[in-house]
Amino acid sequence: MAGPGALWEALWALLPRTKEELKLELGEKVEGSVVMLLQEAAELLYGDRRQECLQTCEALLDYSWEKLNTGPWQHVDKGWRQVYSFGCLLKAVCLCAPPGDAASVAAALKACDMGLLMGAAILGDILLKVTAVLQKHLLSGKRPAPSPSQEPLGIKKARNDHVPIPDMTSERTVPRLHCPSLQYFRKHFLDPGRPVILEGVANHWPCMKKWSLEYIQAIAGCRTVPVEVGSRYTDEEWSQTLMTVDEFISKYIGNEPKDIGYLAQHQLFDQIPELKQDISIPDYCCLGAGEEEEITINAWFGPQGTVSPLHQDPQQNFLAQVMGRKYIRLYSPQESEALYPHDTHLLHNTSQVDVENPDVEKFPRFAEAPFLSCILSPGEILFIPVKYWHYVRALDLSFSVSFWWS
């Protein structure tokens, strides 16, 4: 039985014994003033001056947050993200000081999640270790609350009768193959850039049997994740926000949600490594030039009705369906002009056309553009070639895992 004292001990077992051993190698972009403040925060923590440490951490977090929001994300210096992670780490530890009530520990877990979402690895991935300790402590005292709607995966049960299942009788469907050899896949699909659905490849992954709303809540319920709110990312009312998985499920997956919420394009498996054990990297990825570590794995978890507008990505994609079904439409890059991409830099990879409700006057060529479509079901993997335009709508409560590789 874990008491607050045990939590405190468990955390300190993960930290360096002395503040001198706290390696602050942040690179030359991080100014001396920040390094000094960070050293001060460490001193305060090791000196048991927790309230002051928390105050100092706030300044560090706010300042590095500003750096994280300056310039394109890919250009943000790693040092700033590490400062952010250090701020999160020290803040989380302070919050867990005895008596360490449940609210404080939950706040500490949130701080760690912010570090995992926006920071960069420090002290040998210490934030992952700390979150494991915190989660264990939070769950040890109580049973996970059973979710009101325990929908196991794979059951094709619509929440209501008004699901617009597309009439695909006139549509050309994506070909399906059962466990093709690597060479066959490369010769007929990867090299020529043709979509295909792979069957028999992912259907035995543990996630296919294990994942349900209840399981997800048990493993990840208290973890903070980014959620997109609004019917699609091209809408004016669209926004991104943070909340725990429990909050996401209760607000956007439970009964009668007011808005569409989508846990989309999030590297959940880096944040919660335990879930990674339930999936595998498709063998076909080895046909690419990149390393396995460079493969980006994203989770896509949301209610019936989420829509990803027609867009293209700069890498090859294996989209594995775990829970529920998705209607997917694919257009070749050769048809790009007929898809009327936005002319701004930010959205040049996104079409202006609403695929299932196109404005035929504004976008006359769209109706004639040939396409392939499918309904992707649990256990199946869709290969989306690089730059292939794709549109996705969830027909049920859905969980997909995508693998971007080169």
Q: What is the DSSP letter of 331?
A: E
* Three-state SS at 50: helix
Residue nearer to another protein on the CB measure, 72 or 99: 72
How many H helices and E strands in the chain? 12, 14
Least separation in angstroms between residue 77's CB and another protein is: 12
Nearest-angstrom CA–CA distance, 391 and 397: 17
- In the list 1, 103, 289, 346, the residue contacting another protein (rule: CB under 8 A) is 346
Residue nearer to another protein on the CB measure, 159 or 342: 342
Least separation in angstroms between residue 303's CB and another protein is: 21
- In the list 9, 17, 47, 62, the residue contacting another protein (rule: CB under 8 A) is 62
Residue nearer to another protein on the CB measure, 58 or 356: 58
Check residue 150 for interaction with another protein (CB under 8 A): no
Residue nearer to another protein on the CB measure, 143 or 345: 345
Residue nearer to another protein on the CB measure, 41 or 198: 41
- In the list 18, 28, 48, 72, the residue contacting another protein (rule: CB under 8 A) is 72
- In the list 13, 27, 36, 362, the residue contacting another protein (rule: CB under 8 A) is 36
* Three-state SS at 63: helix
Residue 164, preceding peptide bond in cis (omega within 30° of 0) = no
- In the list 31, 125, 274, 359, the residue contacting another protein (rule: CB under 8 A) is 31
Check residue 382 for interaction with another protein (CB under 8 A): no
Is residue 297 within 8 Å of 275, Cβ to Cβ?
no
- In the list 28, 32, 337, 361, the residue contacting another protein (rule: CB under 8 A) is 32
Is residue 307 within 8 Å of 231, Cβ to Cβ?
yes
Is residue 105 within 8 Å of 16, Cβ to Cβ?
no
| Class of residue 274 by CB neighbours under 10 A (exposed 0-12, middle 13-18, buried 19+) | exposed
Site for another protein in 232-251 (CB under 8 A): 236-237, 239, 241
Least separation in angstroms between residue 345's CB and another protein is: 6
Is residue 57 within 8 Å of 41, Cβ to Cβ?
yes
Number of chain positions touching another protein (CB under 8 A)? 23
Least separation in angstroms between residue 36's CB and another protein is: 7
Residue nearer to another protein on the CB measure, 70 or 267: 70
Q: Which amino acid is at 365?
A: R
- In the list 5, 13, 23, 66, the residue contacting another protein (rule: CB under 8 A) is 66
Residue nearer to another protein on the CB measure, 63 or 205: 63
- In the list 33, 160, 169, 170, the residue contacting another protein (rule: CB under 8 A) is 33
End-to-end CA distance of the chain: 47
Nearest-angstrom CA–CA distance, 347 and 390: 15
Nearest-angstrom CA–CA distance, 86 and 304: 38
Nearest-angstrom CA–CA distance, 111 and 389: 37
Count of Cβ atoms closer than 10 Å to residue 186 Cβ: 15
Site for another protein in 177-236 (CB under 8 A): 236
Least separation in angstroms between residue 95's CB and another protein is: 18
Residue nearer to another protein on the CB measure, 31 or 171: 31
Question: Which of these, 183, 272, 177, 186, lies nearest to 224 by C-alpha position?
Answer: 272
Nearest-angstrom CA–CA distance, 294 and 299: 16
- In the list 63, 248, 366, 371, the residue contacting another protein (rule: CB under 8 A) is 63
Check residue 37 for interaction with another protein (CB under 8 A): yes
Check residue 259 for interaction with another protein (CB under 8 A): no
* Helix axes 32-46 and 78-95, enclosed angle (nearest 10): 20
Structure tokens at 6: 């045990």
Q: Which residues bind another protein (CB under 8 A)?
A: 31-33, 36-37, 55-56, 58-59, 62-63, 66, 69-72, 236-237, 239, 241, 344-346
